[in-house]
Amino acid sequence: MGGIQATYVEHTDFQKIKPLENDEPMGQKCWSDVRVLADQYGDGAVWTIPKSSLWEAYQHKGIGVELYERVIGVLKSRGKVVYLEPHGCLGNSVGTFGSTSEAAMRVWKHLVTRYPSSGPVIALK
């Protein structure tokens, strides 16, 4: 049928250490989006979805969204704010790391309408 994997990236420290102007860590294309959300909800853990798959027979039936929602439920159960971003946010300049498929981006477009978000990053509280 398919599956999904969530991976811890790092913890924000915007409240303790004020970032430099235009400070974008290497490989963090969405860091400014995380910062916008952290200004509203406080520092928290940043997670990404590096891998998700769904057999073709199960696609376009809402099952992909449900896979992501189950991960979101687990992350929300931690009781602290968590920021979840597509793996493409971790992309490098040569495209060998951090990519998000078109199918997965369709799910992300749905998720950003259901949760507080900035760009493709969602805040879970």
- Give tens-digit pLDDT for 31-88: 889 989 999 999 999 999 888 888 889 888 889 899 999 999 999 998 899 999 998 8
Strand partners, 98: none
pTM for this entry: 0.82
Which are the contacts of 37, defined by CB distance < 8 A and separation ≥ 6?
83, 116, 117, 118, 121, 123
pLDDT tens column, 108-124: 999 999 999 999 999 99
pLDDT of residue 42: 92
pLDDT of residue 71: 94
Is the pLDDT confidence value at 18 over 70? no
